[in-house]
Amino acid sequence: MRNKKETIRKFVSLINNEEEQGGLWLPNIQRYFIWKEEQIERLFDSIMREYPIGNLLVWKTKEPIKIRKFIDNYKEGLKLIDFYVPKNEKIKLIVLDGQQRLQSLFIALRGGYNGRELYFNVLSGEENEEEDIRFEFKFVEPSKVDISRGWVKVKDIVYDSREYDEIAESIVEKIEKKRHVISLSDKEKRLIRKNVLKLIKEFRDKENIAYTELDSVDNPEAYKLNDVVEIFIRANAGGTPLSKSDLMFSLLTAEWEEIEEDLTNFLEELNGGAFAFSRDFVLKTSLILIGAGAKYDVMKFRKEENLRKLQDNWEEIKKSIKEIKDFLCKYTFIRDDKALPSYLALIPLIYLNYKYPEKWKNSDKEILAKWLTRVLLTGAFSGSSDTLLDALVRKINEREDFDTNIINTEIMNRGRTISISKDSLLDTYYGEKKLYLIFALWYQDVNFKPAYEGNLPWVDHIFPQSKLKEIKEINPETGRKVMKYKWWDRDQIANLMLLSAEENRDEKKDKTPEEWLRDKDDEYFEIHLLPKNKDLWKIENFEKFVKEREKLIVDKFKRMRLVT
């Protein structure tokens, strides 16, 4: 690992340039460029004010991974596929961290943003405590620029080889020529010279780019591919979440280009706006189905045997995943992401479908649905589940079937639970995925299931939060009034119900149970498991209401044989 420094102009000259140290490129894994014009303008102001812009992370390698060019002229709707570069084993520099900053510099100094180029107001720069921007930079259409007001194209200054005073004098002449009879004051001329010198200093002369280089060319043993992947993941941990499968996918697409478009289309079809099946999930499932195990290892996608198995069985893999998604909708009443806390719990069922299709076809789907519901509610697949998934696959292979008793024993032997206790059920709060799963089961016979498309139902507080927050009590230690009901009191499942969007938005709003429930019929109380005792609807009896409703909830789930 080497820490290096370079001038901004020199470093930008490496971008997309094979002739300069192999050039700077982006790995296919990197996210799309998301900075807006204002963010780039602020970056330039920060550099002029000598603010640190952070360290970049660069990987020097010969690895034939899929890479792409930096964007020079950014436009809305650009497709990254248009910037892909054929894989090669040449020496190259790949940016692992710092894409947004470096891409911004490249757009500003070598290209443009939606047809506009970056201009600098050479008459700005005076300190003003009321403004958070000192040096004015702006993306403007060249035809609309008014140099008489001091606006000069940034790249014209940065890439001008003359001394700063010559550049400044030519700018002064152009401004005065444009102003005709109005000449610049001595103060304005001094400011222009000062700003031109500053711009040249910060972008052409000073080594303002600090970067760390991981050298896998001269020092291949120090930075093997797995090491670089781990460094990449950690370097990006504070930004948009990335997974190891992202780089694995980049390696996969280098050998199998068609997979990218095909997988994208498959995920769109699979999710349909309701679920959130990810590329990560599909790749992990695929590895398990071809017998490569659940643990992520970058080298798995570089083995010719694994790649061949994936290509040969890809259609069957997709078919099995889709059939389990259909099984969800048909047998479990889970028809959207809100009611599916763990996608990993689906993998054993997908494996059975894929490896033993006849056994899947003849299996009791109701029993499998109950098993899935139970493990989702208990969180049996939460946390690190690789060893558990591998163990369950072995058990399925041993029996060539899915024996729920054997599967459950294996889960428990690994220190995980499959029991849903009364406390576990009631210890569920607003916003938790577990809540949506419980409601999906609870309201499965009602016409507004969580799978309801278009106008999804809302989780609502029976006793409105606003009303409960108003209730105060005396703190015996301080003698001061404090809120009596904390969030865990207000947001507990016993104070929650599912309402149609229309009911919640237009009818109930902040009504108390006394107002809301007085005209409801018996069916309404049965659907929502609400106590019929009107005294319990009073806000002063909130705690008694909760106790009574807890009993009703537990009784329902006992009748469903989901609570032990």
Per-residue pLDDT tens for 361-408? 999 998 999 899 889 988 899 888 999 999 999 999 999 999 999 999
Higher pLDDT, 30 or 133: 133
**What's the token pair of residue 357?**
């299709």
pLDDT category of residue 53 using cuts at 50, 70 and 90 = confident
Res. 55: pLDDT tops 70: yes
Three-class secondary structure of residue 235 per DSSP: helix
Residue 375, Cβ neighbours under 10 Å: how many? 25
Res. 469: pLDDT tops 90: yes
| pLDDT confidence of residue 241 | 44
C-alpha to C-alpha distance for 547 and 531, rounded to whole angstroms: 10
Cβ neighbors of 285 (< 8 A, separation 6 or more) are 317, 321, 347, 350
Cβ neighbors of 84 (< 8 A, separation 6 or more) are 28, 66, 67, 68
Q: For 269-308, what is each residue's pLDDT tens digit?
A: 999 988 999 988 998 999 999 999 998 776 777 788 998 9
pTM for this prediction: 0.58
C-alpha to C-alpha distance for 33 and 103, rounded to whole angstroms: 7
Give the mean model confidence (pLDDT) for residues 91-97.
Answer: 91
Res. 452: pLDDT tops 50: no
Question: What is the average pLDDT score of the chain?
Answer: 88
Q: For 536-564, what is each residue's pLDDT tens digit?
A: 999 999 999 999 999 999 999 988 877 87
- Per-residue DSSP letters for 284-339? HHHHHHTTS-SS--GGGGG-HHHHHHHHHHHHHHHHHHHHHHHHIIIII---SGGG
Higher pLDDT, 425 or 183: 425
| pLDDT confidence of residue 301 | 74
Most confident of 110-119, 273-282, 450-459, 553-562: 110-119
| pLDDT confidence of residue 427 | 92
pLDDT category of residue 451 using cuts at 50, 70 and 90 = very low
Three-class secondary structure of residue 112 per DSSP: strand
| pLDDT confidence of residue 445 | 73
**What's the token pair of residue 87?**
């894989």
Residue 372: which of 350, 387, 393, 391 has the closest Cα?
A: 350
- Per-residue DSSP letters for 115-161? TBEEEEETT-----TT-S--S-EEEE-GGG--GGGTEEEHHHHHT--
Stretch among 202-211, 222-231, 316-325, 353-362 having the lowest mean pLDDT: 222-231
Higher pLDDT, 472 or 508: 472
| pLDDT confidence of residue 235 | 60
Res. 435: pLDDT tops 50: yes
Residue 415: which of 441, 378, 452 has the closest Cα?
A: 378
Residue 73, strand partner residues? 112
**What's the token pair of residue 237?**
């941990």
| pLDDT confidence of residue 30 | 62
- Per-residue DSSP letters for 171-191? HHHHHHHHHTT-PPPHHHHHH
Inter-helix orientation angle 365-378/304-327, to 10°: 100
Stretch among 86-90, 266-270, 348-352 having the lowest mean pLDDT: 86-90
C-alpha to C-alpha distance for 136 and 395, rounded to whole angstroms: 66
Cβ neighbors of 127 (< 8 A, separation 6 or more) are 134
Residue 117: which of 161, 66, 159 has the closest Cα?
A: 159
Higher pLDDT, 91 or 31: 91
What is the torsion angle, in degrees rounded to the nearest 10, for the CA atoms of residue 393, residue 333, residue 426 and residue 374? -20
C-alpha to C-alpha distance for 185 and 167, rounded to whole angstroms: 18
C-alpha to C-alpha distance for 254 and 269, rounded to whole angstroms: 24
pLDDT category of residue 421 using cuts at 50, 70 and 90 = confident
Residue 107: which of 151, 41, 60, 53 has the closest Cα?
A: 41
Res. 429: pLDDT tops 70: yes
Which CA distances in Å does 14 have to 92, 102, 158?
Answer: 10, 11, 16
C-alpha to C-alpha distance for 47 and 53, rounded to whole angstroms: 7
Residue 80: which of 273, 261, 270 has the closest Cα?
A: 261
Res. 448: pLDDT tops 80: no
C-alpha to C-alpha distance for 194 and 113, rounded to whole angstroms: 27
C-alpha to C-alpha distance for 142 and 532, rounded to whole angstroms: 72
| pLDDT confidence of residue 260 | 78
Higher pLDDT, 482 or 77: 482
Residue 74: its H or E element: strand 73-74
Percent of the chain with pLDDT over 90: 58
pLDDT category of residue 505 using cuts at 50, 70 and 90 = low
Give the mean model confidence (pLDDT) for residues 215-221.
Answer: 86
Distance, first Cα to last Cα, the chain = 56
Higher pLDDT, 526 or 437: 526
Q: Are 467 and 461 in contact (CB under 8 A)?
A: no
| Tally of CA atoms within 13 A in the half-sphere of 412 that contains its CB | 9
| pLDDT confidence of residue 504 | 61
What is the torsion angle, in degrees rounded to the nearest 10, for the CA atoms of residue 430, residue 432, residue 437 and residue 441? -20
| pLDDT confidence of residue 338 | 83
| pLDDT confidence of residue 253 | 66
